[in-house]
Amino acid sequence: MANAMIGQLGGQPILILPEGAMRSTGKDAQRNNIAAARAVADAVRTTLGPKGMDKMLVDSIGDIVITNDGVTILEEMDIEHPAAKMMVEIAKTQNEEVGDGTTTAVIIAGELLKKAEDLLEQEIHPTVITRGFRLAKDETLKILEQIGKPVSIDDTESLKKIAMTSMYGKSAEKASAHLATVVVDAIKMVAEKNNGKIQVDSDNVKREKKHGGSSEDTALVRGIVVDKEVVHPAMPKTVKEAKIALLDVALEVKETETDAEIRITSPDQMQAFIEQEQKMLKDMVEKVVKSGANVLLCQKGIDDVAQHYLAKKGILSCRRVKKSDMEALAKATGGRIISNLDDLSTEDLGYAKVVEERKVAGESMTFVEECKDPKAVTILVRGSTEHVVDEINRSIEDAVGAVASALEEGKIVAGAGSPEAEVSNRLRKFAEKFSGREQLAIKAFADAVEVVPRSLAENGGLDPIDTLVELRAAHEKGNVTYGVDLTNGKISDAFTAGVIEPLKVKTQAIMSAGEAAEMILRIDDVITAGRLEKGPSMPSGMDHEE
């Protein structure tokens, strides 16, 4: 398959690609791409839904990630095949746009390609397939819009259900009711109304992880949590009406960096030298005091002597605060990060009602609460071990994304495979309007979206065929919200069962899956440059498919 690109000139073959370059064309290229993309979809399919399994990913240095999250799995996998990489892109886009539904998007794309492969076998041209797919995709978006129901910010119950649906089946499930409350409260605090539209900047919901304790201890903090202790024991542990200096400069005397030696010949000189240093540090602290600050959060170090002076002045101080925290603090407290002490003035100080050091799982953290900007909130993510905290953190991220997009879009749908079943049903009817090959392509699209209820059933140990038959019958009768009920192994109304998702998860998944499938199908020529350092070797991923 991988012959170099050869042209003909008067019977004489001429090489137009450099040595080592690979080329595969026509059906070979298509098959190869489809196989690679499907392999990616297969890798995540078993994680779909509340009964989906987790994956354990071990990287080259032995670090472990245990997750059920589609985008995380794909990001951690070291994928090289270009078509497979396009599938990973779908997951990333989905994650950025909605923050949930990554597995769904990827497996729909995989299934679309599988169906397309069947059509290609029947000698249907790729452009006919992609045209049919595009018609089907546009129709699907319309159908989804129609079955979407409005949701308001006051509908706390529905919002909690959305959060819980996105967390089902993750390590977070045990505490999902509690976590859902935390997530919904957080979003309500940061949501803004703009000409009747709700806007949620998920970045305003900061997450700070701390292992030890249980996921039930996860809590919402109205402000910013800094994972640092108050630097000196004599400093206050609580400051009310905090005026906060944010410094990006060390309160230290720089060590002489040149080779210049300082010769000290007498104890007096030694004493003078120390006093000189102490005076410099005292002057620095004086500048902080003069600004009127009673809290100092410093991105760099604070010398012991400076700590001593700060403590004497009753200034609560933390050192080596993370840069990202400093930025969040500046935004939340309305303060300005100062990198030259001489510039520090009263106007640069941030405000918070309370700054307090508290013990969390035996370690001290500093809470900056009730800031100038009430939209600054932090979810303090807890769980027994680091791996658990990481997975709960990812679940919370999904839930925040889900609730936020439900509010921004203002529409929700029932989940559990019900929208996909409804889409499939209506698309089959829509297909009747077209003739011949296009109709086949639209029907293939209709079959492909059923991969969602089918996988939910399969992963839940139900018979996928029986389930799909029942589901089709229910939707034919007009039960739009019927989906796979994994608690009793039947099909039921997903809305009543509390399985609710934002409409955007579904529309975005269809859009990116459709586009990716189309893009992959349109490729009939893959030209891979030779590896620079390795010379003419097979590009990896190109040599072992099928």
Q: Show which residues are catalytic.
A: 69, 102-103, 398
Spatial neighbors of 22 by CB under 8 A, at least 6 apart, are 2, 4, 526, 527, 528, 530, 538, 539, 542
C-alpha distance from residue 234 to each of 4, 133, 197, 275, 458 (Å): 75, 69, 49, 22, 61
Record the tokens describing residue 49, joined without a space: 């839904």
Contact 220, 186 (CB under 8 A): yes
Q: Measured from the CB atom, is 289 or 421 closer to ligand ADP?
A: 421
Tell me which of Mg ion, ligand ADP, none is bound by residue 104, counting a contact when its beta carbon lies within the kind-specific cut-off of 5 to 8 angstroms: ligand ADP
Give the SS3 label for residue 374. Answer: coil
Nearest-CA neighbor of 414 among 453, 366, 361? 453
Longest CA span, the chain: 102
104 vs 218 by CB, closer to ligand ADP: 104
Integer CA distances (angstroms), 398 to 166, 405, 411, 518, in order: 6, 11, 17, 27
Q: How far is the CB of 178 from ligand ADP (least distance, A)?
A: 17
Q: What is the DSSP secondary-structure string of 236-299?
A: -SEEEEEEEEEE-S-BSPPPP-SS------SHHHHHHHHHHHHHHHHHHHHHHHHHT-SEEEES
Closer to ligand ADP by CB, 148 or 415: give it. Answer: 415
CA angle centred on 97, ends 177 and 186, rounded to 5°: 35
What is the per-residue binding string for Mg ion in 156-195, x denoting contact by CB under 5 A?
Answer: ----------x-----------------------------
Query: Which tokens hold the place of 348?
Result: 């640069």
Nearer to ligand ADP among residue 397 and residue 447 (C-beta): 397
Rounded to the nearest whole angstrom, what is the least distance from the CB of residue 69 to ligand ADP in the complex?
7
| 415 interface partner picked from ligand ADP, Mg ion, none, CB below 5 to 8 A per type | ligand ADP
294 binds, among ligand ADP, Mg ion, none (CB under 5 to 8 A by kind): none
- The residues that bridge with 484 in the sheet, in sequence order, are 491
Indicate the residue whose CB is closest to ligand ADP: 415
Residues within the interface to ligand ADP (CB under 6 A): 47-50, 52, 70, 100-104, 165, 168-169, 415-417, 452, 456, 484, 486, 499, 501
Q: Which is nearer to Mg ion, 412 or 444 (CB)?
A: 412
Closer to ligand ADP by CB, 249 or 400: give it: 400
Nearest approach in angstroms of CB 491 to ligand ADP is: 10
Identify what 148 binds: Mg ion, ligand ADP, none; CB under 5 to 8 Å per kind.
none
The minimum distance between CB 95 and ligand ADP, in angstroms, equals: 9
Q: Are 48 and 459 in contact (CB under 8 A)?
A: yes
Question: Is residue 348 a contact residue for Mg ion (CB under 5 A)?
Answer: no
By a kind-dependent CB cut-off of 5 to 8 A, residue 511 interacts, out of ligand ADP, Mg ion, none, with: none
Under the binding rule (CB under 5 A), the answer on residue 252 touching Mg ion is: no
**Shortest separation between residue 214's beta carbon and ligand ADP, angstroms:** 22
Q: Which stretch binds Mg ion (CB under 5 A): 55-63, 93-101, 222-230, 337-345?
A: 93-101
Question: Which own/partner pairs from 470-476 qualify as long-range (CB within 8 Å, at least 24 positions apart)?
Answer: 471/417, 471/421, 472/421, 472/424, 472/425, 474/421, 475/421, 475/422, 475/424, 475/425, 476/425
**Judged by CB under 5 A, which of 100, 447, 450, 485 binds Mg ion?**
100
The interface partner of residue 405, options being Mg ion, ligand ADP, none and the CB cut-off 5 to 8 Å by kind, is: none
Which 3 state secondary structure label does DSSP give 481? coil
Site for Mg ion, rule CB under 5 A: 100, 166
